Amino acid sequence: MTLTRCLPLLLACLGGSLAAAEPLPITIGVLSHRGDEATVRNWGPTADYLSSQLRGIRFEVLPLEFQAVEPAVAEGRIDFVLVNSGMYVDLEVGHGVTRIATLNNRHAGRSYNTFGGVLFTRADRGDLTALASLRGQRLAAVNRVSLGGFQMQWREMHAHGIDPWRDLAGIDFANTHDAVVRRVLDGRADVGAVRTNILERMVEDGTIDADDVRIIAPRPAGDFPLRISTRLYPEWPFAKTRGTPNELAQRVAVALLQMPPDHPAALSGHHAGWTVPLDYQPVHELFQDLGIGPYSQPGPFTFGDVLDKYRGIFIAGGLMLLVVLGMSARIIHLNTQLERAKSGIERRFELILDAVGDGVSGVDTDGMITFVNPEMERLTGWSADELIGRPQHDLLHHSRADGTPYPRSECPVGATFRENRAHHVDDEVFWRKDGTSFPVEYASSPIRDREGAVLGAVVVCRDVTARKAAEEAQRRHVTEMAHVARLSTMGEMASQIAHELNQPLAAITNYTGACVRRLQVGRDDPGPILEALQLVSAQAHRAAQIVRRIRDFIRKQEPGRGPIDLNDLVRQTSLLVAPEARANRVGIVLDLADGLPAVVGDGVELEQVIMNLVRNAIDAVSHNPRNARRVTVRTANEGGNVHLSVVDNGPGMDESTLREAFTPFYTTKVSGMGLGLALSRRIVEAHGGRLWAETNPDEGATLSVRLPADQEKRDVA
Amino acid sequence: MSREPTVFVVDDDAAVRDSLRWLMDSVGLRVAAYPSGEAFLEAITPDRPGCLVVDLRMPGLDGLEVYQRLREKGCGLPVIIVSGHGDVPVAVRALKSGVADFVEKPYSDQELLDCVKEALRRDTEQRVHKVRHEEIATRFGTLTPRERDVLHLVVEGLANKAISANLGISLKTVETHRARVMEKMAAGSVSELVRMAMIIENQGKPLPY
């Protein structure tokens, strides 16, 4: 043992009585997906590294199983958390954790910060090749919330119409990647799901033989060096929990970013240091696709769904009723016993309502509350006694979200029994006793008697604060990403823009130079001088226009929505990209339809979409012979929709490019983030439209956008 | 065709073209402006003196291509290429291929005018030089073969006696030929004759026999 290693021990012994003075260690909770021992071995050195970088602070690693992560964060037992990207997104929305760095992974001497999932089988299972062949097979996966060890593969199966819960023979969650691999090799499972680089690492350390396993449905992944069956996602983030001071988080982030790729801590973690936190949008999309994590929502629900959901309880209740009825038939004369049984049934139905996780209340045809369950009391802050017998609308529903009065005549609950049909609402608020409100999704169904006459309504409601917050965070995120992408687009175009600005500046220089020289030699006839000054003014205006167009484009703004003339946007955009088109000698043809209806949306973001499509097209044709580089932007009115297409005569897109074009980080270009098309599609979809790519039958490719026309404008027209 | 030097301006940007016309006019230069390299090449002939100011980036022919086509047409007009920022590699290529000058935007008007004046000066010089060369070549063409032999040997510095021995003719005949050569070439001295020979040789061609 060296002196430097002894010293702290020595100090610790001496300081035994001073133990209280030593600060509590800072805890890094680490997902222990390959077992606790491996976790401490892999990440302990990172904690040591941080302790050495941030003097006076001691860091330690706490291995956490999948199920233990969320409680540890919720109870504030850890200061930093290092988990997979999926759990991170969940914790971000649910517990306010914030990423401060993203892992750079290492393989074969290269570093990269994305990863994916692998589906594999034993090499001798020749019957398992495509995703479709997984039906009826037994799957070993890491954990229900493992991103690379289950959810990514789930998304690919989902995309191929396979529901793993229904169509597979079964799913075993083995909890660690190594256990998944063992189960497949043992034959206890047919197929395994692990993250990329697990198989490669196990081959490297000799645990398995490369010929033992075969990848199912392998995907080409550009220059991603590992075998993969799914899309790519950003690597694990290092995140701070809500209670951790920002100042500490900043110091940790700086220390992590400064960790050299070949530092012993990086080597033992099998990674290549850390990078600035990435965009976790692809993970959000996965969750949205699968309707899990922060996006879990069973969709519109009805009282019927509640019955369905709590079927067991209802069946039990129903059976009890039958038993009681049988008894009552046999011992009808024992009235007291019957009474007791009846109250038992009532009690049981009460228990059912108590057990329901949604708020349930009954309303009679006068709008008075007849019953509520405890969840309803919890949601509204009113007790059952305060609610029952009082008007539902006036108590819970008196104002809209913006605080304006909500007339009783417009209340959907009232409409339920007036119109004798169910109403589903997901964009209103309920008001609590303390005067606050919460966003609510509710279903109001009529209650009818045996003859079908309406007695009132049952309202089943749910607090959707968390879901709305996730949606809002998501929307803000797209806006921010869009802004960053606009800045980066302008950066790429900087030299063309400089050229464009140089034209009016050169003209101004020349005109003013001419005036000065004429005046110097006495050619001071005011006519020509005046004319030249007017020309100067026009050129100054031209320069100002260019600056304004750029400023409008990169402006960071709150998403605004208004009627937009797509033809105007196309003309604006073509002016912005004109210098780049000229530099690449590409002719841009505008073929714009007359009388195009407006669309509703955010002009800056839609302009960004058009810009992105046109710049991609310019890029696509830039290898054509010089006089055959053509990009056409066309708009058309298609009954209720506005259609925009960008047609190029480049090489077109091959099958794999067509499939991958909209995947984040996918790019065939040397420069650029590879986010353009993915982001464009998100923007278009946020406008209720569609964006798709096709290869043209003759030459080149067409990117098309379809947006719904503005209803009001069309009606006027 | 006028013999007065003209500044030819080629730029696809109407405002830049027009403003250059104003600038040149303000210092009393003749200007002819064209919206494209093609239009300019159509109009230009080798006998027109002046210089060319051409934008590097244009649709159709770019500045360098206009320069190359101009030379292919046998026009020695000095060329000033105007470029935007960041075209350094193109600039290097241009200078290597012998373009007279390269002005980067944004430029000052004085800088551009200086370049233009320098180009015009060089054009005039080239043309004077060319006229002189043509005169000498014409005179040289009037010499008989024997007189050319004598001229070559005189230029090499041989005395009449050595020439006589070299060509196997009498000293008297050499003297006669020599006098005729001096007269036909309008050379006042042997050193002037040597300069004329050098002018012809400097054009890269050996003296014709």
Give CA–CA dist B86/B34, Å, rounded. 25
> Which chain A residue lies closest to B107 (C-alpha atoms)?
A506
Query: In residues, how long is chain B?
Result: 209
Closest CA to A612 of A582, A658, A646: A646
**pLDDT top residue among A526 and A715:** A526
Rounded mean pLDDT, B161-180: 91
Rounded mean pLDDT, A236-241: 90
> Which chain A residue lies closest to B23 (C-alpha atoms)?
A514
User: Is B15 close to A582, i.e. CB distance below 8 A?
Assistant: no
How many Cβ atoms from other residues are within 10 Å of residue A242's Cβ?
12
Please give the pLDDT value at position A560: 66
ipTM of the complex as predicted: 0.77
User: Is A532 close to B18, i.e. CB distance below 8 A?
Assistant: no
- Give, as one character, the DSSP assignment of residue A143: -
Please give the pLDDT value at position A189: 93
The answer to whether residue B109 neighbours chain A at the CB level (below 8 Å) is yes
Q: How confident is the model at residue A712 (pLDDT cuts 50, 70, 90)?
A: low
Backbone angles phi, psi at B146, to 5 degrees: -65, -40
Most confident of A404-408, B91-95, B98-102: A404-408
The answer to whether residue B4 neighbours chain A at the CB level (below 8 Å) is no
Å between B93 CA and nearest CA of chain A: 17
Residue whose tokens read 């922060």: A294
Chain A residues near residue B25 by CB distance under 8 angstroms: 514
The answer to whether residue B114 neighbours chain A at the CB level (below 8 Å) is no
Å between B67 CA and nearest CA of chain A: 19
The tokens for A352 are 């059912």
The answer to whether residue B1 neighbours chain A at the CB level (below 8 Å) is no
Å between A495 CA and nearest CA of chain B: 7
Chain A residues near residue B20 by CB distance under 8 angstroms: 510
Please give the pLDDT value at position A10: 39
Chain segment A174-192, per-residue pLDDT in tens? 888 899 999 999 889 999 9
User: Is A538 close to B84, i.e. CB distance below 8 A?
Assistant: no
Please give the pLDDT value at position A94: 81
Chain segment A179-230, per-residue pLDDT in tens? 999 999 988 999 999 998 888 888 888 888 888 899 998 887 677 778 899 9
**pLDDT top residue among A700 and A291:** A700
Is the separation of the CB atoms in A363 and A457 below 8 Å?
yes
> Which chain A residue lies closest to B112 (C-alpha atoms)?
A510
Q: Is A262 exposed, middle or buried (0-12, 13-18, 19+ CB in 10 A)?
A: exposed
Please give the pLDDT value at position A544: 92
Please give the pLDDT value at position A81: 94
Share above pLDDT 90 across residues of chain A, in percent, rounded to a whole number? 24
Rounded mean pLDDT, B141-162: 89
> Which chain B residue lies closest to A507 (C-alpha atoms)?
B16
The answer to whether residue B107 neighbours chain A at the CB level (below 8 Å) is yes
User: Is A510 close to B108, i.e. CB distance below 8 A?
Assistant: no
Is the separation of the CB atoms in B42 and B87 below 8 Å?
no
**Low-confidence winner among A29-43, A546-560, B15-29 (lowest mean pLDDT):** A546-560
Chain segment A274-284, per-residue pLDDT in tens? 877 777 888 88
Chain A residues near residue B53 by CB distance under 8 angstroms: none
> Which chain B residue lies closest to A520 (C-alpha atoms)?
B26
Give CA–CA dist B81/B94, Å, rounded. 8
Q: What is the mean pLDDT of chain A?
A: 83
Please give the pLDDT value at position A312: 72
Go through B96-110 and write b for each residue having 16 or more CB atoms within 10 A of its CB, e for each that does not.
Answer: eeebbbbbbbebebe
Q: How confident is the model at residue A300 (pLDDT cuts 50, 70, 90)?
A: very low
A665, pLDDT greater than 70? no
Q: What's the CA angle centered on A413, arms A408 and A418, to 5 degrees?
A: 85
How many Cβ atoms from other residues are within 10 Å of residue A48's Cβ?
17
Closest CA to A154 of A24, A293, A16: A293
Interface mutation vs chain A, best among B26, B62, B83, B107, most A CBs within 10 Å? B26
User: Is B110 close to A508, i.e. CB distance below 8 A?
Assistant: no
A572, pLDDT greater than 90? no
Chain B residues near residue A582 by CB distance under 8 angstroms: 57, 59
Query: In residues, how long is chain A?
Result: 717
> Which chain B residue lies closest to A514 (C-alpha atoms)?
B23
Chain B residues near residue A502 by CB distance under 8 angstroms: 84-85, 105-106
Give CA–CA dist A136/A188, Å, rounded. 14
The beta-carbon neighbor of B106 closest among A509, A514, A517 is A509
The tokens for B163 are 């020439």
The tokens for A635 are 């708009």
Q: How confident is the model at residue A681 (pLDDT cuts 50, 70, 90)?
A: confident
Report how many Cβ contacts below 8 Å link chain A to chain B. 80
Please give the pLDDT value at position A84: 86
Please give the pLDDT value at position A83: 92
Q: How confident is the model at residue A250 (pLDDT cuts 50, 70, 90)?
A: confident
The tokens for A427 are 């964009």
Q: What's the CA angle centered on B53, arms B52 and B57, to 5 degrees?
A: 125
Chain segment A430-487, per-residue pLDDT in tens? 999 998 999 998 988 888 888 878 888 889 888 888 888 877 777 777 777 777 777 7
Positive or negative torsion for Cα A544, A546, A548, A551: negative
CA separation, residue B159 to residues A628, B152, B156, B192 (Å):
69, 12, 9, 17
Share above pLDDT 90 across residues of chain B, in percent, rounded to a whole number? 41
Closest CA to A421 of A396, A399, A447, A439: A447
Chain segment A112-140, per-residue pLDDT in tens? 788 899 999 998 888 888 888 888 999 99
Interface mutation vs chain B, best among A495, A496, A502, most B CBs within 10 Å? A502
User: Is A507 close to B27, i.e. CB distance below 8 A?
Assistant: no
The tokens for A152 are 């990514």
Q: How confident is the model at residue B22 (pLDDT cuts 50, 70, 90)?
A: very high
Closest CA to B18 of A503, A541, A543, A575: A503
User: Is A503 close to B18, i.e. CB distance below 8 A?
Assistant: no
With a CB-CB cutoff of 8 Å, which residues 505-524 of chain A face chain B?
505-518, 523
Give CA–CA dist A672/A664, Å, rounded. 12
CA separation, residue A687 to residues A56, A194, A709 (Å):
52, 36, 11
